[in-house]
């Protein structure tokens, strides 16, 4: 029996081919360096989940125009722009198993190519002649930068609770995935109820996606993940597994966690201690349960649509969020 | 007799008050840090030339709506975003006599607040419901990032000629000023001929503005300029005065210039040597003449409009470009 990933891939193979082509065609840089840096980040093993969600959302709402693949690259460009800027912000040296762009081309080119990708995204969106689409995109971009700043400000902040965590991941991750689904529906000129349902679907998928990502940082195989596990903890990013553990821990265990989190430099054995305490208090399972709830909510949002190939694919993509290994 | 600056300021005093208010009102950040960094760069002595040009262009074309001041802040936000990113890119520590934002808040916050300002600009533009306006803005933003990258790539490049220099300053400076004037006309729903004339006016003002800026780096009083003179040369930025001198110099003088330009670290006496050679070959005067030509061309673009207070002000603003001291 085929795995979920293989089933999805089989259904969207042609879409993915067209999205890959559109990613190159729409870049239109004037300088070769822009093309090099942008392509380095764009073609480094991204799963194209955002463009795919947009294309499928449009099609679910009956879209049959020819701008969906072009428009879909906007979400990959914006995602790539934030990866370029965020890796620089986080001082992360590795991305998907390769050196981060800023450690090859330096901060200046990385900042500016990120800006170029942001600008290209809006220019492509403007081609739709739809002000609501552009408006959502502009607000999404502003929210993403504020989400990253929020996270930056809370580095190592032991007072960060689950509510604040959800706030951060809503802005830095969920809002772009939400925008992809919502804009897919808008491109199809879907009725408001459908637009809202797909926006909600995207929001819940986005939250689950980030929770799953945060789980991988504690549970993945480093060679599959393409970066060292425990990176979040070393960067002072408190995510739900550890927030939950901190919240449930005995006074003594909480102190042990706090001491490690606030230390400069976290050793392999420190990380194992944290992982042990997270497991002791069920932080992994708790996060998995919350993510699963969001996936169920996401799938429920699709109930207003009649059953179709697209609806099934969107349901499968929601489920895929929890089973991915990188 | 009043100076040109005082005459202009007297005519636009109320506009400037309203632009200042709009700059604060439209920022709408969610986090206080964003507000701090953005306001630090926005309220550090900018002359508001870009918003003013937009407002006056709109009014010249008969605009009498109430969105001009709001829309005008877009050009100051975009300008501020590029200042934040460019100072980081250039490693410049001082801006208008104050520490550069990145040396106070660090690179991460500076990158992200720049992104926020870019995104806010597009969101404000989207409020006009005008796709052409948004489109121009998006393409302008892409061009600006490519202009900066172009400049970055040509650091210390002795082969940079006048044509390539014009290409760089068109993108990094002129296109935003051009967009401000053009969008002013579009906001007023002016006929195409007027839109084009104001775009051309803005382009020529922008080129002259950057040439004047590049001149100041060789001729200004450092205490008035708010930063050390000779900064461009130290950063390896070849501007027209030195490009012209290199082009006209004897073989021996060219070698002296090349040696200094390519050295790591330029002493005060090196700078004086370069300045002496620039003057020997008339690089300052040549640049001033070229800038003056662009100012005349800019003013000629206004001839299709009948004489009015706005037209006179736009002519005065073009002239002001050459007399400013900082």
Alpha-carbon distances, residue A269 vs A256, A258, A273, A276 (angstroms): 13, 15, 6, 10
Cα–Cα distance, A107 to A85 (Å, whole number): 9
pLDDT in the model for residue B326: 54
Instruction: Answer yes or no: do A113 and B29 touch at CB < 8 A.
Output: no
Q: Which of A89, A114, A145 sits opposite B119 (nearest CB)?
A: A145
Tens digits of residue pLDDT in B117-130 = 999 999 999 999 99
Alpha-carbon distances, residue B268 vs A53, A194, B96, B237, B277 (angstroms): 59, 67, 21, 17, 14
Q: Which of B30, B89, B107 sits opposite A112 (nearest CB)?
A: B89
Cα–Cα distance, A325 to A211 (Å, whole number): 13
Residue of A290, A310, A314, A288 lying closest to A300 (CA atoms): A314
Region of poorest pLDDT, from A113-117, B126-130, B234-238, B270-274: B234-238
List the beta bridge partners of residue A94.
A99
Cβ(A83)–Cβ(A46) below 8 Å: no
Q: Which of A33, A88, A138 sits opposite B149 (nearest CB)?
A: A33
Please report which residue ranges of A91-128 form alpha helices under DSSP H.
101-126
pTM: 0.89
Q: Which residues in chain B touch residue A142, judged by CB atoms under 8 angstroms apart?
A: 116, 119-120, 123
Q: Which two tokens stand for residue B274?
A: 């370069």
Region of poorest pLDDT, from B9-23, B61-75, B81-95, B304-318: B81-95
Q: Which of B34, B85, B137 sits opposite A149 (nearest CB)?
A: B34
Q: Which of A118, A125, A146 sits opposite B29 (nearest CB)?
A: A146
For A29, which residue in chain B has the nearest alpha carbon? B146
Residue of B271, B307, B302, B102 lying closest to B196 (CA atoms): B302
Tens digits of residue pLDDT in A88-98 = 877 777 777 78
Region of poorest pLDDT, from B17-26, B64-73, B152-161: B152-161
Residue B107, classed as helix, strand or coil, is: helix
Cα–Cα distance, A321 to A295 (Å, whole number): 8
Alpha-carbon distances, residue B1 vs B4, B5, B6, B7, B239 (angstroms): 9, 12, 10, 10, 35
Which chain A residues have any C-beta within 8 angstroms of a chain B C-beta? 29-31, 33-34, 85, 88-90, 107-109, 111-116, 118-120, 122-123, 125-127, 129-131, 134-135, 137-139, 141-146, 148-150, 152-153
Instruction: Answer yes or no: do A145 and B29 touch at CB < 8 A.
Output: no
> Does the CA dihedral B156-B162-B167-B168 come out positive or negative?
positive
Cβ(A199)–Cβ(A182) below 8 Å: yes
pLDDT in the model for residue A49: 93
Cβ(A298)–Cβ(A208) below 8 Å: yes
Please report which residue ranges of chain B form alpha helices under DSSP H.
4-25, 32-42, 49-60, 68-90, 101-126, 131-153, 162-169, 175-187, 192-219, 222-225, 231-234, 240-248, 251-262, 268-280, 283-301, 309-323
| Ramachandran assignment for A265, one of left (phi > 0), alpha (psi -120 to 50 degrees), beta (any other) | left
Cβ(A286)–Cβ(A165) below 8 Å: no
Q: Which two tokens stand for residue B304?
A: 């299709």
Cα–Cα distance, B6 to A152 (Å, whole number): 45
Eight-class DSSP state of A235: T
pLDDT in the model for residue A223: 61
Average pLDDT over residues B174-180: 97
Q: Which of B123, B130, B135 sits opposite A139 (nearest CB)?
A: B123
DSSP string, A40-98: HHHTSS---HHHHHHHHHHHHTT--SS-HHHHHHHHHHHHHHHHHHHHHHHT--EETTE
Q: Name residue, tokens 């305490």.
A: A277
Burial of A289 (0-12, 13-18, 19+ CB in 10 A): exposed
Cα–Cα distance, A83 to A1 (Å, whole number): 35
pLDDT in the model for residue A326: 54
| Ramachandran assignment for B129, one of left (phi > 0), alpha (psi -120 to 50 degrees), beta (any other) | left
Element (H, E) at A269: helix A268-280
| Chain B: closest CA distance from residue A250 (Å) | 33
Instruction: Answer yes or no: do A119 and B113 touch at CB < 8 A.
Output: no
Cβ(A120)–Cβ(A73) below 8 Å: no
pLDDT in the model for residue B223: 61
Q: Residue ranges of the domains in chain A?
A: 4-323
- Is residue B189 over pLDDT 60? yes
Alpha-carbon distances, residue B207 vs A43, A127, B49, B172 (angstroms): 37, 29, 14, 10
DSSP string, A129-182: T-HHHHHHHHHHHHHHHHHHHHHHHTTT-TT--HHHHHHHHIIIIIHHHHHHHH
Q: Which residues in chain A touch residue B149, judged by CB atoms under 8 angstroms apart?
A: 31, 33-34, 109, 112-113, 116
Cα–Cα distance, A295 to A47 (Å, whole number): 19
Cβ(B318)–Cβ(B298) below 8 Å: yes
For B27, which residue in chain A has the nearest alpha carbon? A142
| Chain B: closest CA distance from residue A9 (Å) | 34
Instruction: Answer yes or no: do A112 and B142 touch at CB < 8 A.
Output: no
Cα–Cα distance, B122 to B141 (Å, whole number): 10
* Residues 6 or more apart whose Cβ sits within 8 Å of residue A269: none
Cα–Cα distance, A60 to B195 (Å, whole number): 41
Eight-class DSSP state of B61: T
| Chain B: closest CA distance from residue A51 (Å) | 20
Of all residues in chain B, the percent with pLDDT exceeding 90 is 64
SS3 helix, strand, coil % of chain A, rounded to 5? 75, 0, 20
Residue A250, classed as helix, strand or coil, is: coil
What is the phi/psi pair of residue B115, to 5°?
-60, -45
Cα–Cα distance, B56 to B16 (Å, whole number): 11
pLDDT in the model for residue B1: 56
* Residues 6 or more apart whose Cβ sits within 8 Å of residue A32: none
Average pLDDT over residues B245-267: 92
Residue of B151, B314, B202, B46 lying closest to A112 (CA atoms): B151
Most confident of the following: A207-221, B61-75, B250-264: B61-75
Q: Which two tokens stand for residue A187?
A: 């491109």
| Chain A: closest CA distance from residue B23 (Å) | 17
Taking domain B4-323, whether its CATH number is 1.10.600.10 is answered by yes
Instruction: Answer yes or no: do B126 and A131 touch at CB < 8 A.
Output: yes
| Chain B: closest CA distance from residue A135 (Å) | 6
Cα–Cα distance, B307 to A175 (Å, whole number): 50
Q: Which residues in chain B touch residue A120, judged by CB atoms under 8 angstroms apart?
A: 138, 142
Q: Which of B88, B122, B138 sits opposite A111 (nearest CB)?
A: B88
Angle at B32 between CA B26 and CA B37, to 5 degrees: 75
Instruction: Answer yes or no: do B148 and A122 touch at CB < 8 A.
Output: no
pLDDT in the model for residue A69: 96
Which chain B residues have any C-beta within 8 angstroms of a chain A C-beta? 29-31, 33-34, 85, 88-90, 107-109, 111-116, 118-120, 122-123, 125-127, 129-131, 134-135, 137-139, 141-146, 148-150, 152-153
List the beta bridge partners of residue B94.
B99
pLDDT in the model for residue A43: 85
Q: Which residues in chain B touch residue A141, judged by CB atoms under 8 angstroms apart?
A: 115, 118-119, 122
Q: Which two tokens stand for residue A72?
A: 């879909």
Q: Which residues in chain B touch residue A149, judged by CB atoms under 8 angstroms apart?
A: 31, 33-34, 109, 112-113, 116
Instruction: Answer yes or no: do A145 and B112 touch at CB < 8 A.
Output: yes
Q: Name residue, tokens 């390769």.
A: A98
Residue by residue, pLDDT tens for chain A (326 residues) are 578 888 898 999 999 999 999 999 999 887 888 888 899 888 887 889 999 999 999 999 999 999 999 999 999 999 999 989 888 877 777 777 788 888 888 888 889 899 999 999 999 999 999 999 999 999 999 999 888 888 888 888 888 899 999 999 999 999 999 999 999 999 999 999 999 999 999 999 999 999 999 999 998 776 665 566 788 888 888 999 999 999 999 999 999 999 998 887 888 889 999 999 999 999 999 999 999 999 999 999 999 999 999 999 999 999 998 887 65
């Amino acid at each position: 029996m085929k795995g979920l990933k293989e089933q999805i891939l089989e259904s969207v193979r042609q879409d993915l081919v067209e999205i890959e082509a559109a990613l190159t065609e729409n870049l239109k840089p004037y300088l070769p360096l822009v093309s090099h840096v942008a392509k380095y980040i764009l073609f480094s093993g991204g799963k194209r989940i955002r463009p795919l969600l947009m294309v499928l959302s449009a099609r679910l709402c009956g879209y049959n125009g020819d701008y969906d693949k072009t428009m879909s690259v906007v979400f990959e460009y914006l995602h790539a722009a934030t990866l370029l800027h965020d890796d620089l912000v986080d001082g992360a040296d590795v991305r998907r198993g390769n050196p981060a762009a800023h450690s090859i081309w330096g901060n200046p080119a990385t900042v500016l190519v990120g800006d170029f990708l942001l600008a290209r995204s809006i220019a492509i969106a403007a081609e739709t002649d739809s002000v609501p689409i552009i408006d959502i995109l502009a607000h999404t971009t502003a929210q993403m930068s504020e989400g990253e700043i929020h996270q930056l400000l809370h580095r190592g902040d032991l007072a960060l609770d689950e509510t604040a965590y959800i706030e951060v991941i809503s802005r830095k991750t969920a809002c772009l995935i939400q925008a992809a689904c919502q804009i897919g529906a808008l491109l199809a000129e879907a009725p408001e109820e459908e637009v809202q349902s797909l926006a909600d679907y995207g929001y819940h998928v986005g939250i689950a996606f980030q929770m799953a990502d945060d789980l991988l940082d504690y549970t993945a195989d480093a060679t599959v993940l393409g970066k060292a596990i425990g990176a979040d903890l070393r960067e002072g990013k408190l995510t739900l597994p550890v927030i939950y553990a901190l919240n449930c821990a005995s006074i003594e265990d909480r102190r042990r966690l706090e001491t490690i989190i606030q230390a400069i430099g976290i050793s392999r054995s420190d990380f194992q201690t944290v992982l042990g305490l997270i497991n002791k208090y069920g932080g992994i399972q708790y996060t998995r349960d919350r993510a699963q709830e969001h996936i169920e909510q996401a799938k429920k949002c699709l109930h207003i649509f009649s059953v179709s190939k697209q609806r099934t694919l969107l349901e499968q993509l929601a489920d895929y969020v929890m089973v991915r290994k990188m």
